[in-house]
């Protein structure tokens, strides 16, 4: 069983327990004042920064191990904002990334900044929960969803005024994503099954399937540690990045 399969199996077990102990209708809400004043991607697109970076907050990961022993999500957010980053990503998966929904709630109490919840969404219950805690954008991973689930989850997210970053790694997932009603596609340089990373992967996929991907704005994800890496992408027409470890370890 791959790392991704283990994460999804545990996630499904936990969600089933949560759903059995909570009234599902509690999550049907119409308004949440915690969300940022404009959409997650409008804020990112309107940035005048040379590299439009979604700065990720996480304590650790299966690929990197423990990144920050003295992890404080609010302190990380403070430092990112001081450095000028305008969009954040926060890991909330508990067992492999040591995350929590409380990390987002803590940041939202102190900062009016758009946040992407980085988790493994496999149930609509999670999308309602995201809205409740003040998330502005959710991540959907094509590798763990069917084409129909992706479509339904996007529709639900939009009805709750949440942006969606639809992510894939393998070109085998391409047909799941190209007809979906989203404007932003994340191409992950990291294979979540094997945890191997190739910083050229996103560019390779974009260039190979440029005709079918040209209607999307591409977000390059994972593995960036040098400005040279970012510049290579920018010179090829991709200037949006989701970066965690490289920022947390101050490599960029």
Positions annotated as catalytic residues are: 56, 58, 118, 167, 188, 221-222
Closest listed residue to residue 82, CA positions, set 62, 110, 43: 110
Q: Which two tokens stand for residue 108?
A: 């939202």
Q: Reduce the DSSP state of residue 163 to 3 states and report it.
A: strand
Report how far residue 176's alpha carbon sits from residue 162's, in angstroms, rounded to the nearest whole number: 21
Q: Reduce the DSSP state of residue 139 to 3 states and report it.
A: strand
In sequence order, the β-bridge partners of residue 54 are: 87, 242
Q: Reduce the DSSP state of residue 186 to 3 states and report it.
A: strand
Closest listed residue to residue 224, CA positions, set 101, 40, 51, 5: 51
């Amino acid at each position: 069983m791959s790392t991704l399969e283990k994460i999804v199996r545990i996630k499904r077990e936990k969600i089933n327990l949560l759903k059995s102990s909570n009234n599902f209708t509690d999550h049907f809400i119409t308004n949440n004042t915690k969300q940022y004043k404009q959409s997650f991607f409008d804020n990112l697109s309107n940035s005048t920064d040379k590299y439009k970076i979604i700065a990720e907050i996480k304590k650790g990961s299966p690929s990197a191990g423990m990144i920050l022993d003295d992890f404080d999500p609010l302190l990380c957010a403070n430092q990112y904002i001081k450095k000028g980053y305008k969009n954040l990503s926060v890991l909330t998966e508990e067992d492999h990334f040591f995350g929590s929904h409380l990390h987002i709630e803590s940041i939202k109490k102190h900062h009016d900044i758009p946040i992407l919840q980085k988790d493994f969404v496999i149930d609509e219950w999670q999308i309602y929960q995201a809205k409740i805690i003040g998330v502005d954008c959710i991540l959907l991973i094509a590798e763990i969803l069917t084409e129909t689930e992706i479509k339904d989850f996007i529709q639900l997210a939009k009805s709750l005024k949440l942006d969606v970053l639809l992510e894939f790694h393998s070109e085998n997932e391409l047909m799941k994503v190209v007809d979906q009603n989203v404007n932003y596609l994340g191409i992950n340089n990291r294979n979540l099954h094997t945890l191997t990373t190739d910083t050229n992967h996103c560019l390779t996929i974009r260039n190979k399937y440029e005709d079918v991907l040209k209607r999307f704005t591409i977000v390059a994800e994972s593995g960036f540690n040098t400005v040279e890496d970012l510049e290579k992408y920018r010179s090829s027409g991709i200037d949006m990045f989701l970066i965690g470890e490289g920022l947390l370890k101050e490599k960029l």
